[in-house]
C-alpha cells in the first residue's frame, strides 16, 4: 500500500512525476485558451449588451447624468400625502442605514419619512442630502420598442427588406451555382483565364460603375422600383462563384461519371448529385447575400429615394436615427430590432455555414 501511494505521489506534497506535469501543462494551456476566448467573446458582445441596456432605459435617466446606474433602473419612490418622494439610504445615529423618503430637502437639516413607520412623523437628519445614495428599482422601459415599432412602421420595412433579400438570394443562387458548376466540371477553352478575369472583378470599385449603371437603369425606367436591387443578382457574383466552385471541386468526379453511366445529363447531375452534397456552401452563399442585402444602404438610398414606401430597413433606420437622434434609447431599440432576423438566421445555420466556409477554402 505504501508502495502504491509512493508511486502515485499521494504522500508527497508536490507531485513531480512527468505524467502529472504534462497534465498540469495541458490544464494550464486549456485554461488560458478558455480565458482568451471568453475575453474575445466579451469584447465582441459588449457593444450589443450596451445597446440592449440603453434601449431599456428612460430618456430622463439617460439625460440626467452620465455617471448614473448601468442597468435600466429608476428611483424608488414612496407615496405620502398625495405626493411621491424619492427613497434614499440614510445613515442613522445608531450606525444603521434605513431607506427613508426625502420630504423636505435643505442644505443642513432635511426632513425624511419612514415608509415602514409613517405614524412617527417627519425625521430630521443633519447633513447634505445630495451625498446620500438613492434607492433604485429595476424598471426596463419596454415601451421604447413599441414606440420604435410604430413610428418606423416596422412591418412595412421588414416586408420590403425580405422581398429584396429573398428574391435576390434566389437569383444569386441560381446564377452562381450554374456558373460555378461550369467552371468546376466543363472543359471550357480558356476556362482558367476566364475565371481569373471573373475573380478580378472583385477588386473593381463599385463607385466606378455607379453612374453608368444608374443611367442604364434610368433609361429602362427601373428607378423607384425594386428591380435595380434584385435583377443584377440574377447574373452571377464573382465572390459567390468562387466559393461554390471551390466546393464543387472537392466533390469526386467519380460521382458524375457514375450518374452519366446511368444516363443522367449535366443538368440532372447538377440537381441530383452536386447540389445535395453542396448544401454547406449553398447555405454559406445564401447567408452572405442575405446579410449583404439586409445591410445594403447605398443602393436603396439611390434607387428608392422617391419611393419611401418601398425603402428597406437600412434606409428607414437611418432616417429614424436622424429624426430621433436626441433619444438614444429609441435609436438603440430600433437598431436591435433590425438585427434580429440576420442573427436568428446565423444562429440556426451556423454549423452548416461554418462547414461550408471552411471547405470552400480547400481545393482538392
- Per-residue pLDDT tens digits for 307-326: 889 999 999 998 888 888 78
Residue 199 has pLDDT above 80, yes or no: yes
Handedness of CA 183, 185, 191, 196 (dihedral sign): positive
Answer yes or no: do 289 and 229 share one domain.
yes
E strands along the chain, which residues?
73-75, 77-80, 83-91, 97-104, 109-113, 122-126, 133-134, 136-138
Query: In this structure, is residue 5 part of a structural domain?
Result: no
- φ/ψ of 308, rounded to 5, equals -60, -30
Distances in Å between the Cα of 53 and the Cα atoms of 61, 143, 257, 317 are: 12, 14, 58, 19
Answer yes or no: do 105 and 181 share one domain.
no
Number of folded domains in the chain?
A: 3
Encode pLDDT of 234-245 as tens digits: 998 899 999 999
Query: In this structure, is residue 7 part of a structural domain?
Result: no
Answer yes or no: do 118 and 175 share one domain.
no
Handedness of CA 144, 145, 147, 151 (dihedral sign): positive
Answer yes or no: do 174 and 319 share one domain.
yes
- φ/ψ of 143, rounded to 5, equals -65, -20
Query: In this structure, is residue 161 part of a structural domain?
Result: yes
DSSP codes joined into one string, 134-149: EPEEE---THHHHHHH
Query: In this structure, is residue 209 part of a structural domain?
Result: yes
Answer yes or no: do 213 and 127 share one domain.
no
Answer yes or no: do 161 and 127 share one domain.
no
Cα distance between residue 66 and residue 176, in whole Å: 51
Whether 338 and 165 have beta carbons less than 8 Å apart is answered as: no
Query: In this structure, is residue 342 part of a structural domain?
Result: yes
For residue 111, give its domain range: 73-138
pLDDT of 15 reads 52
- CA 123 to chain CA centroid, Å, is 52
Encode pLDDT of 48-61 as tens digits: 888 888 888 887 77
Query: In this structure, is residue 67 part of a structural domain?
Result: no
Query: In this structure, is residue 238 part of a structural domain?
Result: yes
Encode pLDDT of 340-364 as tens digits: 888 888 887 777 666 655 555 444 3
Q: Which residue has the higher pLDDT, 101 or 62?
A: 101
Answer yes or no: do 171 and 132 share one domain.
no
Answer yes or no: do 309 and 173 share one domain.
yes
Question: Of the residues 112, 138, 164, which one is the last residue of a structural domain?
Answer: 138
Burial of 140 (0-12, 13-18, 19+ CB in 10 A): middle
pLDDT of 355 reads 62
Query: In this structure, is residue 60 part of a structural domain?
Result: no
Answer yes or no: do 189 and 283 share one domain.
yes
Mean pLDDT, the chain, rounded, equals 85
Tell me the CATH number at 356: 1.10.3720.10
Answer yes or no: do 176 and 151 share one domain.
yes
Which pLDDT band, with edges at 50, 70 and 90, does 94 fall under? Answer: confident
Answer yes or no: do 132 and 160 share one domain.
no
List beta partners, residue 88. Answer: 100, 134
Question: Of the residues 138, 170, 192, which one is the last residue of a structural domain?
Answer: 138
Task: List the helix and strand counts (H, then E) for the chain.
Answer: 16, 8
DSSP codes joined into one string, 241-279: HHHHHHHHTTS-HHHHHHHHHTT--HHHHIIIIIHHH-H
Whether 117 and 58 have beta carbons less than 8 Å apart is answered as: no
Amino acid at each position: 500500500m505504501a508502495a502504491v501511494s509512493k508511486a502515485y505521489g499521494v504522500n508527497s506534497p508536490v507531485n513531480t512525476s512527468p505524467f502529472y506535469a504534462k497534465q498540469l501543462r495541458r490544464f494550464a494551456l486549456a485554461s488560458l485558451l478558455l480565458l482568451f476566448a471568453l475575453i474575445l467573446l466579451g469584447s465582441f458582445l459588449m457593444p450589443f449588451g450596451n445597446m440592449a441596456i440603453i434601449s431599456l432605459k428612460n430618456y430622463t435617466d439617460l439625460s440626467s447624468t452620465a455617471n448614473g446606474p448601468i442597468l435600466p433602473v429608476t428611483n424608488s419612490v414612496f407615496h405620502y400625502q398625495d405626493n411621491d418622494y424619492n427613497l434614499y439610504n440614510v445613515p442613522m445615529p445608531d450606525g444603521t442605514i434605513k431607506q427613508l423618503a426625502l420630504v423636505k430637502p435643505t442644505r443642513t437639516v432635511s426632513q425624511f419619512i419612514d415608509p415602514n413607520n409613517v405614524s412617527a412623523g417627519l425625521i430630521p437628519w443633519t447633513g447634505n442630502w445630495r451625498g446620500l445614495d438613492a434607492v433604485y428599482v429595476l424598471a426596463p422601459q419596454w415601451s421604447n420598442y413599441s414606440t420604435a415599432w410604430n413610428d418606423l412602421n416596422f412591418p412595412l420595412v421588414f416586408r420590403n427588406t425580405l422581398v429584396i433579400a429573398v428574391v435576390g438570394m434566389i437569383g444569386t443562387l441560381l446564377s452562381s451555382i450554374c456558373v460555378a458548376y461550369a467552371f468546376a466540371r466543363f472543359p471550357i477553352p480558356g476556362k482558367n483565364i476566364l475565371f481569373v478575369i471573373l475573380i478580378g472583378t472583385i477588386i473593381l470599385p463599385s463607385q466606378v460603375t455607379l453612374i453608368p449603371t444608374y443611367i442604364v437603369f434610368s433609361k429602362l425606367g427601373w428607378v423607384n422600383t425594386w428591380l435595380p436591387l434584385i435583377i443584377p443578382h440574377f447574373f452571377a457574383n464573382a465572390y459567390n462563384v468562387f466559393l461554390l466552385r471551390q466546393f464543387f471541386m472537392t466533390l469526386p468526379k467519380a460521382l458524375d461519371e457514375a450518374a452519366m453511366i446511368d444516363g443522367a445529363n449535366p443538368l440532372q447531375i447538377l440537381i441530383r448529385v452536386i447540389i445535395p452534397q453542396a448544401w454547406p456552401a449553398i447555405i454559406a452563399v445564401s447567408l452572405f447575400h442575405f446579410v449583404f442585402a439586409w445591410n445594403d444602404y447605398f443602393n436603396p438610398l439611390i434607387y428608392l429615394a422617391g419611393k419611401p414606401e418601398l425603402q428597406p430597413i437600412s434606409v428607414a433606420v437611418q432616417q429614424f436615427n436622424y429624426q430621433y437622434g436626441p433619444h438614444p434609447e429609441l435609436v438603440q431599440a430600433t437598431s436591435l430590432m433590425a438585427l434580429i432576423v440576420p442573427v436568428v438566421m446565423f444562429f440556426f445555420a451556423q454549423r452548416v455555414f461554418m462547414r461550408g466556409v471552411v471547405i470552400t477554402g480547400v481545393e482538392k
